[in-house]
Structure 1
């Protein structure tokens, strides 16, 4: 019963009190208070399956010029490379020009709805550029011919021109490539781009959390993947607990494909508990998939993929009686918050508290609560289950480009040495070029201002006013 939980949330969200304290650096961290408990917390990430990778830096790139009120700045523009957990390599472009890349940041494949692309009406044009330029089109002579460019388009020019065209759509940036060939490619791609639909995930599970009574088949968990096949790993204690992963016919499943349905088969005499399965496959991740990091490292978009390992997990909770909740979370950039999906397959209502507000899911009901957050806000909160178990949700809300937040402000660099303005003196190792975040050793142009809230070292607490006892 979605209306029950959503209506309660609508009337129950009280005013929010902000309390801030800043450290000497002036950087502010954001925390979220929520119900605490004594049981160990099971951390719930907002990754919805797919590839997980570590960024390694810029690999193929040229130079570009960003025109801003504070003056023109040179930046490096081109392809990043990521190493996939379990094997594989990804090539990506940046869609978050004014935000730095953190060294060795871990990234997760993310639907556009959970990224700054959610509100970008040109996101589909960015995907067209990716499909019709380098490295997807690696015949540089053919690419140059389409763009009306003479001979001599290099990989560096192709990467720089492609990145510049993307920035014009992702960040609305006034940016030009330094090399004339790269600039002509950027102009061609920008003008030729058409809207293309968001690509499907390489691997995701629907639903990521299920619940019910032992003796029943708990599910279904539906597999969505572009891989030919995927393997299923049962719960780690399956041999002792007796919990099996089966299809709807009750037969054990170890291999699945697109559309397969999985169920947790829990023996009838099993004590209340929970279990988790993992589905893993090897595939090429679709071009245009977004990648985000909870370290607030700049958002990336996929330009190319080798055969790579992708995975997704789903959990099940069971009990003989009482409330039996299943909880999952996903970032919702359209609503500037985190969606907490709750289903209750028990015979009693499940009531939980977030930010001092109670929410109730009736027996047999389900619904979604959107927890509103500020941009760049780190969050860490828990929902306590009926048997004292905790589901912990952590992450950072990153739904807008820095350009949206600092429009009209003077641009500054985030680190030393400062990038030289165009026409300035270059050093032998090109350390005057601001990079789009390839490593902490290369500075990045970034918009900032006194009072801008970013993740850092003090505390900003959001404390909701508690409901009175008459509201349920």
Structure 2
């Protein structure tokens, strides 16, 4: 067992925030009064969704302290495994070394722009490492030769690869414990070149559209690396008459990359909304990021079996008035959430967020960036059609611990590497930054005050040079 495991305050705040996130509201947000129905606006715009199953192949690494804190941390370093919803398995390495993973955390395929990779000029070097090391390269003898190592086991290769990634994802002073694994880390770090972000396995552009009955609403453009995508019409299409069609009005049941889909809404249909479900089976591209709203450390894809991927397109329609379509996406470059509202109605659409009023003229679209603090939970509601309001919620997680800075706290009784991955019976995974102190943190670090349905949120404190 490690004792007096030192992590930065960011980890403390993250865990405390995660425990209370469902009740948090971004400061200044004006939320519509008690809507009859709340429709969550997904920020996951398609791809794979998976559950973390554990740290499966790993060695060990030593993280060296910086500044006044010179403590060394000995941590597991290696490959995680995830189980994909609908079938499939993913192998990942972690980024954000000091942030803990949560047992059985749910992850979603996410653009780099929605993670710390979005503002990291070396993100492309991480992708190069993934493509040129284990498990993409499984000839370990050849990999050892390139690295100048005597030999590499799977554990050494996983540890060396993870260490090289941390040096670019977190700017961490970290070394592999095994000498050959360390040689691999050095080789990968020095050889890495910047590569472009890989494309999504499945995403939609845009994921939400609107218009009038009697029109084809869209287009929604499919972006995918799958050869074939199944398109499932709205659940009540037999009675509502709403269909998925192409630009010529022909019914569509399958799609591929660049296919344009439309919702065909019968003339005279009552005001309403509908969804199209898209599903495919494909290999998720190496280098795709995976993020979790449970504050479990961000992962980056190292390998994928044939896996299920999915996306949802939504449409709203009305006969007269404003007809908004709302989508949302994290924007780490601007430290906030981009809320895109298009209005295909015949009247301007006005909504209010963070004390500011925004008006979208008829026939136009606008993206509003809501600025947030790092680690801030948010919960916005935008008034929609027919009592179906649009709710946007989540937690902004755009920085690694190294980028965020801050002072330190002490955590004790961190699980040892021997228990890494845990068992189905129950203890938390033993990975970087994990701790059994979560109940203590949640109980003492944060007080949540709820007044009139709003909540006081927690913002991470950063140390300034003038602080002691």
TM (norm. structure 1) is 0.85
The answer to whether the aligner puts 1:330 opposite 2:329 as a matched pair is: yes
Q: Which residue of 1 aligns with 2:202?
A: 203
The whole-number CA distance in structure 2 between the counterparts of 1:168 and 1:336 is 23
The whole-number CA distance in structure 2 between the counterparts of 1:386 and 1:358 is 18
Residue pairs, 1:21-420, within 5 angstroms: 30-32=24-26, 33-37=29-33, 38-68=35-65, 69-150=69-150, 152-406=151-405, 409-410=407-408, 412-413=410-411, 416-418=412-414
The whole-number CA distance in structure 2 between the counterparts of 1:157 and 1:412 is 29
**How far does residue 446 in structure 1 lie from its aligned partner after superposition?**
7.4
**How far does residue 70 in structure 1 lie from its aligned partner after superposition?**
4.0
The 10-residue stretch of structure 1 (352-361 or 159-168) with the greater mean CA deviation from structure 2: 352-361
Tell me, which stretches of 5 or more residues in structure 2 are unaligned? 1-12, 450-454, 458-468
The whole-number CA distance in structure 1 between the counterparts of 2:445 and 2:109 is 22
The whole-number CA distance in structure 2 between the counterparts of 1:455 and 1:327 is 35
Partner deviation per Cα, 1:179-216 (whole Å, 9 max, x = no partner): 01100000000000000000000000111000000101
The whole-number CA distance in structure 2 between the counterparts of 1:439 and 1:258 is 43
Q: 1:168 aligns to what SS in structure 2? A: helix
Provide runs of 4+ in structure 1 moved above 4 Å: 25-30, 454-457
Partner deviation per Cα, 1:65-107 (whole Å, 9 max, x = no partner): 0000241110000000000000000000001101000111100
**How far does residue 378 in structure 1 lie from its aligned partner after superposition?**
1.3
Count of residue pairs brought into register by the alignment: 423
**How far does residue 412 in structure 1 lie from its aligned partner after superposition?**
3.6
2:433 to 433, 440, 445: 445
The whole-number CA distance in structure 1 between the counterparts of 2:246 and 2:20 is 49
Q: Assess if the C-alpha contact under 8 Å between 1:35 and 1:355 holds in 2.
A: no
The whole-number CA distance in structure 1 between the counterparts of 2:336 and 2:39 is 21
Q: Which residue of 1 aligns with 2:456?
A: 461
Q: Assess if the C-alpha contact under 8 Å between 1:157 and 1:179 holds in 2.
A: yes
Q: Assess if the C-alpha contact under 8 Å between 1:55 and 1:80 holds in 2.
A: yes
Q: 1:291 aligns to what SS in structure 2? A: strand
Structure 1 residues 60 and 457 mapped into 2: Cα distance closer, same or farther (>3 Å)? farther
Structure 1 residues 82 and 357 mapped into 2: Cα distance closer, same or farther (>3 Å)? same
Structure 1 residues 456 and 216 mapped into 2: Cα distance closer, same or farther (>3 Å)? farther
**How far does residue 411 in structure 1 lie from its aligned partner after superposition?**
6.1
Partner deviation per Cα, 1:358-397 (whole Å, 9 max, x = no partner): 2111111110101111111111121012533200111110
Q: 1:199 aligns to what SS in structure 2? A: coil
The whole-number CA distance in structure 1 between the counterparts of 2:370 and 2:408 is 32
**How far does residue 402 in structure 1 lie from its aligned partner after superposition?**
1.4
Q: Assess if the C-alpha contact under 8 Å between 1:57 and 1:439 holds in 2.
A: no
The 10-residue stretch of structure 1 (349-358 or 72-81) with the greater mean CA deviation from structure 2: 349-358
The whole-number CA distance in structure 2 between the counterparts of 1:441 and 1:244 is 46
**How far does residue 461 in structure 1 lie from its aligned partner after superposition?**
3.1
Q: Assess if the C-alpha contact under 8 Å between 1:53 and 1:84 holds in 2.
A: yes
Q: Assess if the C-alpha contact under 8 Å between 1:317 and 1:325 holds in 2.
A: yes
Q: 1:181 aligns to what SS in structure 2? A: helix
Structure 1 residues 346 and 441 mapped into 2: Cα distance closer, same or farther (>3 Å)? closer
The whole-number CA distance in structure 2 between the counterparts of 1:346 and 1:286 is 39
